[in-house]
Each structure stands twice: as C-alpha cells, then as structure tokens.
Structure 1
Amino acid sequence: MNPNGSNTESTPQAPASDTSPPEGQWSTGICGCFEDVTSCFVTCWCPCITFGRIAEIVDQGGISCFRATRNCYCLAHLLGIGACALYTCTYRSKLRAHYSLPPKPGPDICVHCCCLYCALCQEYRELKNRGLDPEGGT
C-alpha cells in the first residue's frame, strides 16, 4: 500500500543518473558477458543464484533471493531445465515490462529455453546498468 492509501504496485527505482540507459532499449546485448565477467562466472556455475538476485529486485522484495534461488534449483533438478526456464522467463517479462524493453533477441520463453545463461547475465547487467544492485538486493 502506498502513502496515499491506494494499493498500487510500485516498480524498482534506481537513483537518478545521467548515464542510465534510456527506457525502451537494452543497455547490452544478449552476448555481452565480457562486460561483467564476475556475474557471468557465477551464472555459469550456478544460474539459480543469479536468478534469485534478479527476482528479488524485479519483485521488489516480494520474493527473497534465497526463495527464488531455491525454487529455480528445485525446478531444474526435479523437473528439468525446461521447467526452470518457464519459471525464470516470467521475471524477464516483468523486467521488460517495467523498462519497456523490446523482446530481443526473441520471445522471453525462447530466449530462456535456448540461452538461459546468457539471458540471466543480460538481465543482471541491465539491473546494474540502471543503477540497481542485484548482489545486494537493492
């Protein structure tokens, strides 16, 4: 609930910055891993951690990093990577909707099914480039 009493959902807010990417454009491409090697390394070894960090910010604390990571891990190991991709692509859709980002390089489900690691890295970079701190949850 916001201060004026209405029950509207707020969106992740980053500090105002002149270097923030414009709305409606991805700040990096899907294969921009060399721009943030550390997060790419973490994603390579455990994509569920990167996803948990993204989910916590996109859901504005509605889901904790731990819970999102656990959900992703369980889906991947119990039902397969396809089930995990179905779950994670919903957060890509939320991120795109918030920043009016185009569905590039394709529909969210296709991107997550074909390039899960690259998609998570791109989403992580997008949040960082917009002034948010996925690692810290803010």
Structure 2
Amino acid sequence: MTMAVMQPLMSNNMWSTNLCDCCDDMSICCCGLWCYPCLVGSTLSDVNENSCLGCCGCGCPSPVHLALRYGVRKQYGIEGSLCSDWCKVACCSVCSMCQVAREIKRRKAQQATTTVINVQPVHMPMASVGDALAAGLSQDSSIHQ
C-alpha cells in the first residue's frame, strides 16, 4: 500500500510565474529593483554558485544573468530557447532576474514540502511455537560455547 502526501506539482515545463509577476514576491521584487547585483548574487548562491559573480554584470545582456536563466530553465525542464532567454535578459533584466529567483524559491519550497510515504506489507512465514523455541535454544547454546 502506498500513501503519498504531496503538494500540487508545478508544471515542469512552464515557469511558475510570468515575467511581469514581480509583485508575487515583494522581497525579491524590492531586492531586484533597488539592488540588482545583490539579487543576482543571492540567486547564484541559491543554486550553489559563487555569489561574487553577481558583481560581474557587465554587458547587455549580462552573461552571468543569461547563464543563470538558461541553467535554471534547463535544470527544471522549462520550455524556451537561448534566444528567448537573451531577449528577456536584454529587454527586461530586473523582471527576468526576479522571475528566476521566484522560480528557484518556489521549486525548493515544493521539494521541501513534498513527502512520499511508501508502506509495504511485510509477509513473514508463520513459524510454529516449537520451531521458535528450537531456534532460540540453538542460539542460546551457541552463545554459551
């Protein structure tokens, strides 16, 4: 018998929020708006990358931001292309980074709250009382020898 206690799964091939859903998470939105390099750094840290790379955001679009967006999209199997990633990073960098940060946060929260319990019945052969006593006596005699 299997019992699963699960939260509704996010669609694995779509972003969990839209590009312009910045107000869905105000802490991420404010960080992106007032300190974009800090948001890039903390998001890099969330995926176990060096957060100092967030300060290397030179160029348009930022190669670090583009690589991060592409990597997150590939990791979670989200539909899209490198070209669409480039366009979003180049035209809407703050909104794009906020979307990436929200995605990581939601996917990690979903992994933390999903619990699967697998209960398998145990089938043990029925032994007679005599067999159990004989087994116990043989163990006791081997211990004392």
TM-score by length of 1: 0.66
Give 5+ residue unaligned stretches, structure 1: 1-15, 133-138
Q: Which has the larger radius of gyration?
A: 2
CA distance in 2 between counterparts of 1:98 and 1:30 reads 18
Give the Cα separation in 2 of the matches to 1:89 and 1:19.
29
More off after superposition, 17-26 vs 33-42: 17-26
Cα distance in 2, alignment partners of residues 45 and 32 from structure 1:
17
Alignment of 1:89-104 (within 5 A): 89-103=66-80
- Give the aligned length: 104
Structure 2 spans left out of the alignment, 5+ residues: 110-145
Find the residue that maps to 1:100 and give its secondary structure.
coil
- 2:55 aligns with one of 47, 70, 94: 70
Tell me how far apart the structure 2 counterparts of residues 95 and 55 of structure 1 sit (CA, whole Å).
Answer: 10
- Percent identity for Structure 1 against Structure 2: 25
Corresponding residue for residue 23 of structure 2: 34
Residues 53 and 64 in structure 2, CA contact (< 8 A), matched pair in contact too: no
Consecutive aligned runs of 4 or more in structure 1 exceeding 4 Å deviation: none
Q: Secondary structure at the match of 1:38?
A: helix
RMSD: 2.1
Q: Is the 8 A contact 1:24 1:100 kept in 2?
A: yes
Higher strand share: 2
Provide the TM-score with structure 2 as the length reference: 0.63
